Amino acid sequence: MNPFSLFAVVAVACSAFLWPAGTPFAGGTPSASGAASPLEPGYVAGGRYIGAGACKNCHNGPAKGDMYDHWTKTKHAQAFASLASDKAKEVGKKHGVDEPQKSEKCLKCHVTAYGLPPAEVKNTLKQADGVQCESCHGPGEAHQKKRFAEASKPGAQPSPITADETHSARSMDNCNKCHNQDSPTFQPFCLVERMKDVEHLDPRKKRTAEELAKLRETCAPDCAHCKETKAKAAADGDKKDGEKKDGGGGK
């Protein structure tokens, strides 16, 4: 099976105590019957959560961007394990939590699909795997079924991701569900910078330089770092233009 994959949508996980149980995906509370997402017109979350291990079957290897292996090296993959650290316990005690790995206040942001009814989560999803693919892309069962069916046809080539499969847009709204000022460890961040660590594009999906630039400029409209970067770029551009004019006038 060789489906085109998705973009990463999240920044590094380090927050807790935020996301209401039962809403592990920014498109609302997805269910087997589907739930509309305000982030991507036409997207409907369908099927159950299946876990990163199930995604590995197709989304791994150099030809596919090493997506699964890349995720295992991110802080998202260690989100649940990090709750056992001395730092997490110290922060937890300040908020009335003795055991972060057992507290809903922490688990709702450190574990994908935490708090959803068992009927909406397959047993292939492991809590110990922390913040997994579906925290950003929504439940993967519908996507998995469609791609397996497609791959079973001799000579079939992967078709583009469709709105009835999975969430593929990059958006700060997803990150902000957990990365916000309600978190005891929150620090303002720039999504453009964070995505340099998290991004996992599929090399089989060809993008122009313009498309990549547009994708990678996604961030909060009030991001101080982005504003500073753009202002510097504009100033540098004006300086170069001035130098060209001065140089041209001297000839």
Looking at residue 175, its pLDDT comes to 87
Instruction: Give me the mean pLDDT over the 111-134 stretch.
Output: 94
Identify the pLDDT of residue 11.
Answer: 32
CA distance 93 to 80: 17
Residue 6 scores a pLDDT above 80? no
Q: Rounded to a whole number, what is the largest CA-CA distance in the chain?
A: 77
Tell me the C-alpha to C-alpha distance, in Å, between residue 168 and each of 45, 139, 213: 11, 12, 17
Which residue has better confidence, 181 or 124? 124
Average pLDDT over residues 207-232: 90
- Chain center to CA of 6: 10
Axis crossing angle, helix 224-249 with helix 191-198, rounded to the nearest 10: 100
For residues 19-40, average pLDDT: 40
* pLDDT at site 247: 66
- Supply the pTM of this predicted model: 0.75
Say yes or no to pLDDT of 166 above 50: yes
What element of type H or E holds 173?
helix 172-176
> What whole-number distance in Å separates Cα of residue 110 and Cα of residue 79?
5
**Mean pLDDT (the chain, rounded):** 79
DSSP 74-120: STTTTTTGGGGSHHHHHHHHHTT-S-GGG-HHHHHHHSTTTTS-GGG
Lookup: tokens for 7: 């973009």
Residue 121 has which token pair?
Answer: 């989560």
Among the listed ranges 86-90, 162-166, 229-233, which one has the minimum average pLDDT value? 162-166
pLDDT digits (tens, 9 = 90+) for 198-210: 899 989 888 999 9
Q: What is the CATH number of domain 35-220?
A: 1.10.1130
- Cα separation, 188 vs 180, in Å, equals 8
pLDDT of residue 131: 96
State the Cα–Cα distance between residues 222 and 172, nearest whole angstrom.
11
Q: Please spell the DSSP secondary structure of 20-75, one letter per residue.
A: PTT--BTTB---TT-EE-SSSTT-EE-S-B--HHHHHTTS-SGGGT-HHHHHHTST
pLDDT value for 99: 96
- Hey, what amino acid is at 189? F
Greatest mean pLDDT among 22-31, 156-165, 181-190 lies in: 181-190
Region 151-177: mean pLDDT is 83
β 44-45/35-36 pair status: antiparallel
Amino acid 248: pLDDT: 57
Range with top average pLDDT, 126-135, 148-157, 179-188, 209-218:
126-135
pLDDT in tens, 43-69: 455 689 999 999 998 999 999 899 999
Q: How far apart are CA 83 and CA 182, in angstroms?
A: 17
Segment 64-98, tens digit of pLDDT? 899 999 999 999 999 999 999 999 999 999 999 99
> What is the average pLDDT across 94-117?
94
Q: What is the average pLDDT across 201-230?
A: 90
Q: Is the pLDDT of residue 231 over 60?
A: yes
pLDDT given at position 107? 94
- pLDDT, position 249: 52
